[in-house]
Structure 1
Amino acid sequence: MRGNPARRRALIDAAIEVLAREGARGLTFRAVDTEAGVPQGTASNYFPSRDDLFDQIGGRVHERFTPEPSGLAETMRARPTRELVTVLMRQLIERLSADPHGYLALVELRLEATRRPKLRAVLTDLIGANIDENVRFHLDSGLPGDRITVVLLQFAMSWLMVEHLTLPGLFERMPAEDLVAAMVDRLVPDA
């Protein structure tokens, strides 16, 4: 049973929902089993410890945020300009907004990582690899800017999403689309 990848993924997805809704203290095997609609004891058969469950959530969240390859390929047919960077950042907001529990779970993981050194190491590696991949994609695509441009965009977008999901009323005053356009204008050099 532990070798069933679909069941494992479903349990991790259930854990993401629990973590986003209840926080780290609420992430128990019992809560995951209940969320997944499986018999009690199932999650503990798949994950030897809560630490292991925490470690696996980050990777799954990033999988859920990965753009659909065909959609990304369609977007990337455009010329590599600052305007295309704006389109890509707006698409990122759409993907993250479509999975708010995934993003909130990632924020909870980051907070939990301040208390769990192993989780901190896992997230540092995972997010570092994500940054490296974003830099590689940006540069290989011929988009304007350098490594620092991409890192600044990623950090700015990360906090923008935290505000968007935790204090949505702020975006009634300052629409996210306008903020993204201004951010790209200020951070990405004109090609």
Structure 2
Amino acid sequence: MDREEQDYILEKMMIEYGDGLVRLAFSYVKDAELAKDMVQNTFIKCYKNLDSFRFDAQLKTWLYRITINECKDYLRSWNYRMVQVRSFINETTKSILPSTEKSVITKYDNDEMKENIYSLPKMYREVIYLYYYESLSTEEIANVLDTSVNTVKTRLRRARHKLKSIIKEAEFYG
């Protein structure tokens, strides 16, 4: 594959999958700019390794897997841990006087649902995200996460059950 062909394929992938990959990365790192950085790293790795791609899997699932691995690597990094400590300190000081913006935002159901999803353990959050927000099939999710289809189905079922419990509890306590 020559350089011109690689450039064309990369540009096509960026247009077709870029937004979905950013949303996927955001579900892990919960920061829009950082999510964009993760996706940029994904496309750089993709470009460097495009010659070795065997086309056994779908390009989409390959990109999703690279993005997930980028995010997981970042979340394990020392830099992330330090950002978390700083963020905790900032949030603690802000929580003394809650902002008006925060009060307005929490009124919207969509944001509440996102919070409920983000409160799930990572293994449930990722299958919910890929299934409902990215519309991947259970087979595609299994391929992206490098796990069995039955594991994906089990995680989806458990995630739905946990979400249902969280929502009922929120309604009960108002």
TM-score with structure 1 setting the length: 0.31
TM-score with structure 2 setting the length: 0.33
